[in-house]
Structure 1
Amino acid sequence: METLNSSSTRKLNETFSESIIPPILQGCFGIFGNFFALFLLFYHSKIHRWGPFYRYICALAITDFNGLLFHYPVAITRYASNFSFEFPEEYCYFDTFLFSFSFLSSAMIVCAMSCDRFFAVKYPLNYRCHTHKTKQVIATIWLFSAAVASFPLLGFGSVQMYYPKTWCFINFASKRRLDRINTYFYASLCLFILCITIVTNVAVIYSICNLDKNDPILSNEVDRRKRKIDETYIVTLMMTIVILFSVCWIPLVVRMLINASASNPENGPGELLAVRMTISNAIVDPWIYIILRKENLVKISKLIQRVRKSKHIPVIFTTKESNATGACAVSNLSTPSTRSTQL
């Protein structure tokens, strides 16, 4: 298995001027964010009782946490050494597997979360009878992702060290037919997963907006309203994750397809930016969960309702006296502003 082709080697021998700040920020925020998200999941486990949705969130955080933890310390070491530290060839194979596994697992877990919400809203009776399948689904995702990530290690394609020799991935900067087939397969699989995720989320939103009043599970209007609130919260979280997932993933997939179709594949700053965008998805996901937790949204909603219902909202107005002194007066809506004058 080749690690670098000749054209890539010439580019990688050039002097690098990349800053160490982006990888440090990405590594710190990503590792801490996923760890904190896991802490909150376990700390509040009595509240959510490890429902299927929260099991998927936990699996996503574990996948992203391990992917970042095993990559960034070594990558930052190369930046800190002013690019004099060289990756061992064995680590390049490991890094390729790590990236391929983490990227694909995260995409499939997000897709599974979307499908889970779709069946929960569309077929609630059948869904309640199959919630115990969540662990098997997660295990299947991890096994399938590991199998696909192992293709380059087993000879189906090769691995490549990319600019500025701080990360390794499947070789989509090669002219070899086997490498291009592997690239097309991986990129097409990711696009397929993305399409399923978007379609199921749109279907979930449509179903929530049109909850059937004759649903056997919803015995009265209160139950129906409560379920709609719960589902709306989860869909809000899911849509945020899916939108960011799409924005972060598309650049790398596009770069892979362009390079696989090009007569002169590139290995430079464009590829580095694309993979940083993809890694950003693993960094942002836990913070979305931390910020958009149901408890936080409920508190914000209650605060907004209090402000709206309050009869003592301060109003700032100007008087003749304040014009002379340059000051402003404050009044409450609950009391008549008898001292106010024309501006």
Structure 2
Amino acid sequence: MEPDHGSLGSCFRSGNQTTNMSGKESEKLITSRWFSTTFGAIGLASNLFALCVLVSSSKKMHSRARSSFLIFLCGLVVTDFMGLLVTSCIIISYHFTKFNWIQVDPGCHLCNFLGVCMIFFGQCPLLLGATMAGERFFGINRPFSRSTSMSKRRAWFMVGTVWAFSFFLGLLPILGLGEYTLQYPGSWCFLTLLHDAKNIVFCLLYALLGTLSVALSFLFNTGSVVTLCRVYHDREAVQRRRDSEVEMMVQLVGIMVIATVCWLPLLIFIIQMVVQGPQSGTQPRQIPQSTEDNLLIYLRMVTWNQILDPWVYILFRRAVLKRIYPSLKARPSIVSLYPVLNPALSNKLTQESVLQ
């Protein structure tokens, strides 16, 4: 028995109650059940493998800076894994059963839950990437501004803060700022590209916050790389092993590049759509099919971020790099831009100056 359309929740728009529910468009490759299943399986396996490697590495790690960095990486991998697991369970179930959302979820509770998950698990990696980049920037450029390196408790607190903020952001449509609606081809829910004030504000908030996170990651990582390059050949700066810092920066730059390529198209598309205004000839709560098609394509690109993130850590570790490049040797590390001479090196330089 079909529920009364007048009692349906706000997640059903005029454009997706029929076209997107019928399944006639499901023959397209990008809406194929195998497309979603393959992406989900590869992503889950990749993140699970990376999590095992991270746990194994953390047990052997004695450096505080490196151990706190591993905690951030662990938070990122756990976020990506849980995001794929939760969303895939709902989306893949739809693709194989073709259940009717109107019958199964007339009150939009499942749709709202999926929307919160999409926002939460989408925003977390971007914010964590910016947080990791900022922590490394201050760790490299201002190592003496803190009495000690970041503790594990503080690192987990920062990860928890990012999770809490992203969860609050996901709750905003539930609290009245914007709304989650069913998206083409009827398998997932996301923020709504409608042009009423609340949806515009939420879309811009989400997209601009994500863009800001990518921009901050770029600025912090660029500053860290410049600092490392400036002192890379400085023989006088000897405290810790520099290869560990280079390894962390390579991984951070890899995470930043992947996030930029995978996320910016979607974020820019959202901003563009809400700023342009509604197209002529569309109904009040209808989104053009071309817009829904593009939104799905950009979402597929975002999925690659969750698949590729774990491989950045798996492949760009010293153990792997040394097998590929055996002549890679450990180098002394920097503590700040101001060199600290050890007695042995100081005596050696003094002797050399006398002989000259």
Same fold? TM cut 0.5: yes
Contact 2:21 2:100 in 1 (8 A): no
Match of 1:299 in 2: 323
1:95 to 106, 109, 114: 114
Counting only pairs closer than 5 Å after superposition, residues 22-61 of structure 1 correspond to structure 2 as 22-49=35-62, 51-61=67-77
5+ residue gaps, structure 2: 1-8, 280-286, 330-356
Counting only pairs closer than 5 Å after superposition, residues 316-335 of structure 1 correspond to structure 2 as none
Match of 2:293 in 1: 269
1:231 aligns with 2:251: no
1:12 aligns with 2:28: no
Which stretches of structure 1, 4 residues or longer, exceed 4 Å deviation after superposition?
none
1:103: Cα distance to partner? Answer: 1.0
1:206: Cα distance to partner? Answer: 0.3
Measure the CA separation in 1 of the matches of 2:57 and 2:157. 23
Any idea what the Cα deviations from partners look like across 1:123-163, whole Å, max 9, x if unmatched? 12235625022122111111111111100111111111111
Contact 1:30 1:283 in 2 (8 A): yes
Match of 2:144 in 1: 125
Match of 1:185 in 2: 205
Residues 229/43 of structure 1: CA separation in 2 closer, same or farther (3 Å cut): closer
Match of 2:261 in 1: 247
Any idea what the Cα deviations from partners look like across 1:58-114, whole Å, max 9, x if unmatched? 000111111110111221122123x34536322111111111011111111111111
Measure the CA separation in 1 of the matches of 2:187 and 2:144. 50
1:286 aligns with 2:310: yes
1:232: Cα distance to partner? Answer: 1.7
Measure the CA separation in 2 of the matches of 1:151 and 1:295. 44
Contact 1:11 1:268 in 2 (8 A): no
5+ residue gaps, structure 1: 215-219, 306-343
Contact 1:108 1:193 in 2 (8 A): yes
Residues 73/229 of structure 1: CA separation in 2 closer, same or farther (3 Å cut): same
Match of 2:165 in 1: 144
Any idea what the Cα deviations from partners look like across 1:160-185, whole Å, max 9, x if unmatched? 111111111121x2122111111111
Match of 1:116 in 2: 135
1:7: Cα distance to partner? Answer: 3.2
- In structure 2, give the amino acid aligned to 1:263: P
Match of 1:174 in 2: 194
Contact 1:48 1:54 in 2 (8 A): no
Contact 2:13 2:182 in 1 (8 A): no
1:70 aligns with 2:77: no
2:124 to 105, 112, 118: 105
State the identity as a percent: 23
Measure the CA separation in 2 of the matches of 1:303 and 1:21. 44
Measure the CA separation in 2 of the matches of 1:8 and 1:128. 57
Residues 234/127 of structure 1: CA separation in 2 closer, same or farther (3 Å cut): farther
- In structure 2, give the amino acid aligned to 1:61: V
TM-score by length of 1: 0.80
TM-score by length of 2: 0.77
Contact 1:5 1:174 in 2 (8 A): no
Cα RMSD (Å):
2.3
Measure the CA separation in 2 of the matches of 1:227 and 1:119. 17
Any idea what the Cα deviations from partners look like across 1:245-291, whole Å, max 9, x if unmatched? 00100121122112212313445221111111112101110122112
Measure the CA separation in 1 of the matches of 2:171 and 2:53. 33
Match of 1:324 in 2: none
Match of 1:257 in 2: 271
**1 or 2 for the larger relative contact order (CA 8 Å, sep ≥6)?**
2
Contact 2:51 2:77 in 1 (8 A): yes
Residues 295/221 of structure 1: CA separation in 2 closer, same or farther (3 Å cut): farther
Measure the CA separation in 2 of the matches of 1:84 and 1:141. 34
Count of aligned positions? 297
- In structure 1, give the amino acid aligned to 2:250: T
Contact 1:119 1:127 in 2 (8 A): no
Measure the CA separation in 2 of the matches of 1:207 and 1:303. 24
Measure the CA separation in 1 of the matches of 2:147 and 2:315. 28
1:2 aligns with 2:21: no
1:303: Cα distance to partner? Answer: 6.8
1:229: Cα distance to partner? Answer: 2.2
- In structure 1, give the amino acid aligned to 2:313: Y
1:52: Cα distance to partner? Answer: 1.3
Residues 127/279 of structure 1: CA separation in 2 closer, same or farther (3 Å cut): farther
